[in-house]
Amino acid sequence: MPELRVFDPPMCCATGVCGTSVDPELARFNADLDWLKHQGIVVQRFNLSQQPGAFVEHAPVKQALSERGNACLPLILVDDRVAVEGAYPTRETLAALAGVVVRKLENSVTASCCAPSGASSSGKKSSCC
Question: Is residue 129 in some structural domain?
Answer: no
Domain count, the chain: 1
| CA nearest neighbour of 82 among 1, 24, 7 | 7
Tell whether 56 is covered by a domain: yes
pLDDT digits (tens, 9 = 90+) for 3-22: 999 999 998 776 666 666 77
Angle at 45 between CA 8 and CA 12, to 5 degrees: 50
Amino acid 41: pLDDT: 96
Look up the domain containing 74 and give its range. 3-98
| Interval 53-92: pLDDT, tens | 999 999 999 999 999 999 999 999 999 999 999 999 999 9
Which pairing describes strands 81-85 and 75-78: parallel, antiparallel, or unpaired?
antiparallel
Strands (E), the chain: 3-8, 42-47, 75-78, 81-85
What is the value of pTM for the model shown?
0.75
Residue 116 lies in a domain: no
CATH assignment of the domain containing 22: 3.40.30.10
Q: What are phi and psi of 58, to 5 degrees?
A: -105, 110
Residue 52 lies in a domain: yes
